[in-house]
Amino acid sequence: MSDYLILSGVLFAIGALGVLVRRNALIVFMSIELMLNAVNLAFVSFARQLNDMTGQVIVFFVLVVAAAEVVVGLAIIVNIFRTKETVDIDDIDLLRG
Amino acid sequence: MRSVLFWILALAAVGSSLTMITRSKPVHSAIAFLGTLVSLAGLFLLLYAQFVAILQIVIYAGAILVLFLFVIMLLHARSGEGSVEKLRLQRPLAIVLSLALLAGVSFLFLQAGLSEAPTPAAGMGTAEEVGKTLFDHFILPFEVASVLLLAGILGAVVLSKKESWS
């Protein structure tokens, strides 16, 4: 069973690497979704191990949060593109001291 | 049989997610992410979570990824990647940090020392069982989730109105 958990750890680390390395806001966003998916895999593995449906129900709530996050986040990215003509994170430094 | 399927799907998931974070074009990343989502749905099936696997395909691949593709097409965004890096050492430091994260998480998971999975309870992972658990124990979170979705809809509408910045 722990191979499923290790796989979810690997996917989470890849998502974190994507967030840290990439500068295109859309790809950073996809990496965040990948991390959410890795956590879902861990929840489902524990549900299987403990023979308890609660883990699978939590995945349902994670999906709801992910959907709301994507809708608002993509709207923000579209707005940033309208005002600054870029989605490169390094170009958006208005708050830089 | 099960472990062969697991290894195939696990390799597909890791490979496509590595492809996702290394492609320079966002469209290629989105397609690679689709591969990750589908192989994760297969892993959910192996773990007796049929309902979650279907949700994964319908919501993630069907709705969220299509939304991503719409925005990518809408923005035809150029990415300044490949030009000068503003933060030096960002890339090596990021690799070291995520490897440290992986080591820590794997250590914790291995320490949990999980044994072989027990035989699954009857009807595990069907829509009926998920619904029973959801409405027996999670009725308040369920309602809050609907409010959250409403807030998401309103937020998207307000943010994408043209005059919202004036």
**Interface predicted TM-score of the whole assembly (ipTM), two decimals:** 0.91
Q: Within 13 Å and on the Cβ side, how many CA atoms surround A6?
A: 14
Residues of B within 8 A of A11 (CB-CB) are: 13-14, 17, 36
Min Cα–Cα distance to chain A from B1, Å? 15
Min Cα–Cα distance to chain A from B52, Å? 7
CA–CA gap between residue B49 and residue A4 (Å, rounded): 14
Angle at B51 between CA B63 and CA B28, to 5 degrees: 35
Domain limits for position B80: 2-125
What token pair was written down for B37?
């989502």
Q: Given this model, what pLDDT does residue B82 score?
A: 56
Of B14, B91, B138, the CB nearest to A57: B138
One domain for residues B35 and B45: yes
Q: Given this model, what pLDDT does residue A12 score?
A: 95
Give the lowest-confidence range in A11-20, A71-80, B81-90.
Answer: B81-90
CA–CA gap between residue A57 and residue A41 (Å, rounded): 12
Local structure of B80: helix, strand or coil: coil
Q: Is residue A62 part of a domain?
A: yes
One domain for residues B99 and B30: yes
At A44, is the pLDDT very low, low, confident or very high (cuts 50, 70, 90)? very high
Q: Is the pLDDT of residue A77 over 60?
A: yes
Q: Alpha helix (H) ranges present in chain B?
A: 2-22, 26-46, 50-55, 65-75, 90-112, 127-137, 139-159
Domain limits for position A74: 2-91
Of B23 and A94, the one with more pLDDT: B23
Other C-beta atoms lying within 10 Å of the C-beta of residue B71: 23
CA–CA gap between residue A33 and residue A19 (Å, rounded): 10
Separation in Å, CA A58 to CA A54, B21, B130: 6, 27, 10
Q: Given this model, what pLDDT does residue B113 score?
A: 72
Residues of A within 8 A of B164 (CB-CB) are: 79
* pLDDT < 70 positions in chain B: 77-86, 163-166
**Subunit contact A60:B130, Cβ cutoff 8 A:** yes
Specify the CATH number for the domain of residue A14: 1.10.287.3510
**Subunit contact A72:B114, Cβ cutoff 8 A:** no
Q: Given this model, what pLDDT does residue B84 score?
A: 61
Q: Given this model, what pLDDT does residue B124 score?
A: 84
Q: Is residue A15 part of a domain?
A: yes
Q: Given this model, what pLDDT does residue B57 score?
A: 94
**Subunit contact B141:A51, Cβ cutoff 8 A:** no
Q: Given this model, what pLDDT does residue A93 score?
A: 78
Instruction: Provide mean pLDDT across the span A26-54.
Output: 93
What token pair was written down for A89?
């994170």
Of all residues in chain A, the one with the smallest CA distance to B91 is A21
Min Cα–Cα distance to chain B from A95, Å? 15
One domain for residues B116 and B151: no
